Amino acid sequence: MTRKPRSDNSLVTLNAAQRERLTQWLFEENISSDATVRRCKKEFGINVARTTLRKFYCQEQQNRALERIAQCAKNANRVVKELTERPADTYRALIGMAGQIAFENAFDADGELDKRTICEFTRLLMEARKDDRECQRLALDREKWQFDAAEACQAELPELKAISANPALSQKEKLRQIRMLLFGVAPE
């Protein structure tokens, strides 16, 4: 629950740019409370109690956590919507998400590039591309097979009509004979 700041809270007087600067000191630069109190005095000309600074830090930390949760929920809803609309694209969407996560985690705490994360993600991407090429090859093979099957059906159309029209044959026997005619193989 967010409380209204006390009227004697010196941080209430900060403008948006100063508040941004203060959060940068606390969260990006990660400087100590004492150093932050000194900077507030020097740069903003205000005296800040350590307890006030601690309350500000806790409130800002809570706000950031809520923003991350909201962003994660928004991303999750977007992904669910995409996957619902195009279920065939599930794999690519997951690879995209993995890429985003790897990018966000590519730097360690010191801001240095984490080569291990990059190597692991690169390996994952290479596997994904390999799988994607295999899927494309299988789709092309399926398309060729369908074309060949349609061509074979057209060539054998008179015999296919005769088999289909034969009332003495059961449905199973008709299918066996059609398969034998088209593919030269009887089903087991």
User: Is residue 107 classed as helix, strand or coil in its secondary structure?
Assistant: strand
Neighbours of 88 (CB within 10 A): 8
Measured distance CA(1)–CA(112) in Å, rounded: 37
- 149 occurs within a structural domain: no
pLDDT at 168: 92
- 129 occurs within a structural domain: yes
pLDDT at 1: 47
- 119 occurs within a structural domain: yes
- 100 occurs within a structural domain: yes
Per-residue pLDDT of 67-104, as tens digits, reads 888 887 887 777 777 767 776 666 677 777 777 777 77
- 22 occurs within a structural domain: no
In the chain, the N- to C-terminal Cα span, in Å, equals 70
Q: Which domain holds residue 167?
A: 156-188
- Specify whether 137 is located in the same domain as 160: no
Measured distance CA(147)–CA(142) in Å, rounded: 9
* pLDDT surpassing 60 at residue 4: no
Phi-psi region of 128 (alpha: psi -120 to 50; beta: other; left: phi over 0): alpha
Share of the chain above pLDDT 90, in %: 9
Task: Write the single-letter amino acid at 15.
Answer: N
Model pTM above 0.85: no
Mean pLDDT of the chain: 81
- 67 occurs within a structural domain: no
CA-based torsion, 178, 179, 180, 184: positive or negative: positive
Per-residue pLDDT of 6-55, as tens digits, reads 555 678 778 889 889 988 988 888 888 889 889 888 988 888 888 888 88
Residue ranges in 24-170 assigned as alpha helix (H): 33-39, 50-85, 90-104, 115-155, 157-165
Long-range contacts, stretch 163-168, CB < 8 angstroms, 24+ apart? none
Measured distance CA(180)–CA(173) in Å, rounded: 10
Per-residue pLDDT of 107-132, as tens digits, reads 666 667 777 777 877 787 788 778 87
- 104 occurs within a structural domain: yes
- 31 occurs within a structural domain: no
More reliable by pLDDT, 65 or 187? 65
Rounding to the nearest 10 degrees, give the CA dihedral for residues 60, 25, 45, 52.
40
pLDDT at 108: 63
